[in-house]
Structure formats: C-alpha cells, structure tokens
Amino acid sequence: MQDDDKRSAAEAAVNEVADGMLLGLGTGSTAAHFIRALAARRLAVTTVATSDASAALARSLGLPVRDFAEVARVDLTVDGVDEVDATCRAIKGAGGAMVREKIVASASTRMIAIADGSKRVEQLGTAALPVEVLPFARAFVEDQVRALGLVPELRRAGDGEAYLTDQHNLVLDCTGVLGQALEPLAVALDATPGVVGHGLFLAEIDLALIATSGQVIRLER
C-alpha cells in the first residue's frame, strides 16, 4: 500500500515533465518509482542523478544521464523526502544522498518532492536529521552538534562498518530536532567546519505531491 502510494506520487510528478527538460533525479525508493515512470513515458529529456544508484537505474532504463560536474542549471528535480510539512520544508537523507540532492535542488528552477502520506508531518524533526561529515572531523563535529542540542549517532552499513556516502564521507544521524528553530539550526550546521551538508531542506522544494490510498494532494510552498 505504501509502495503503491509512492508510485502514485511518482507518476503524478511525471505529468509535470515536458519534452526538452534537463531533469534532476532524486534518490531512494520513491525517486526510483519516478525514474521508472519517466523512462516508461519515453519523453525527450536528459537527466543528472543525485547518486550513483539513481544514475545506474536511469541508464539501465535507457535514460540519458549527464555528469552533473558539467551542468550549472537544471529545469526540474524530483526527489523523495523523509518528512515534509505543510509549507514544503523537509528532512531528507535517510538514503545518504542529501549533499548531492541539495546541490542539484539548488541548481534547479523547480523542485518537486514526492512521497506517500506517512511522510507528511505537522512539525519536522521526529525523523533523524542526517549530517554528512568529513571522516577527519568526526569527533569534532559530534561535539559541535551536541552543543546544538542534537544527539548524533554514526550511521552503520549492513556489515557493521561505518556507512560511507558516494563522496566517501560519514553520516551522523541526529535526533533532537523536534521543537528546534530550524533556520538557525541549518545556519549553524552549514557554518560548522567538517560538516559537508545536512538533510534540512527548508527553501528548496516548490511543490510536494503526497499520495494516500491512491489520492494525490499538492502542497505548494
């Protein structure tokens, strides 16, 4: 059911795509539904991907994927979220791709978030906030985020080793976000040496398409 709703939101997002667009492809299971639905529609688009996994999926389905290092502007990015509120602010990064996702979102004229209804919250911060950290700076950044009132936990991969992002950095999953003022928190994290990025998306998302029992609602910023 939840997966059906992810697919419904993804299919609704494909309706926002036009021939000729350069698209940003998000990461995660909902974004994967979008990539599959996009490929099935056979539109004349090119893409950039926010993760190696999404690039591989898109290429396997015949979508052209450009190297984002050679791209400055993107027309539309479609991506999943871990939590989204009524004003399209979101927490992202459970899939570990939040740094590339934010860069591609920032390069995009428009960003659409897609999700099943379980991701819609009144207040952000029940989900852990992922913070990507240079391995060199791990203990320092852990100390800094504790001083911000968060509780960091080093993300581990399935084999018990430290999880590494596509950039070979660590992720601290931080609890304690609920009730915090989010804009100052984002500014403080952005200003912390050793923090490569984090999953607070407070201004990037223009439209959220949320599907519940097959019904898709639109939340506009």
- Which of residues 98 and 210 has its CB atom nearest to ligand 5RP in the complex? 98
- Which of residues 95 and 152 has its CB atom nearest to ligand 5RP in the complex? 95
Distance in Å, CB of 94 to ligand 5RP, minimum: 3
What residues have CB less than 8 Å from 183, skipping those under 6 apart?
202
**CA 88 – CA 84 distance, rounded (Å):** 6
Distance in Å, CB of 77 to ligand 5RP, minimum: 11
To the question of whether residue 30 is assigned a binding role by annotation, the answer is: yes
Distance in Å, CB of 100 to ligand 5RP, minimum: 9
Q: Which residues is 217 bridged to in the sheet? A: 210
To the question of whether residue 29 is assigned a binding role by annotation, the answer is: yes
Q: Are strands 195-198 and 170-175 parallel, antiparallel or unpaired?
A: unpaired
Active-site entry in 101, 132, 142, 204: 101
Interface contacts to ligand 5RP, rule CB under 6 A: 26-31, 79-82, 92-98, 101
To the question of whether residue 79 is assigned a binding role by annotation, the answer is: yes
- Which of residues 96 and 152 has its CB atom nearest to ligand 5RP in the complex? 96
To the question of whether residue 108 is assigned a binding role by annotation, the answer is: no
Distance in Å, CB of 111 to ligand 5RP, minimum: 12
Token pair listed for 134: 């240079």
**CA 98 – CA 50 distance, rounded (Å):** 8
To the question of whether residue 87 is assigned a binding role by annotation, the answer is: no
Residue 2 is inside which H or E element, if any?
A: helix 2-14
Closest CA to 23 of 42, 41, 49, 54: 49
The yes-or-no answer on residue 142 being catalytic is: no
Burial of 18 (0-12, 13-18, 19+ CB in 10 A): exposed
What is the set of active-site residues?
101
Binding residues for substrate: 27-30, 79-82, 92-95, 119
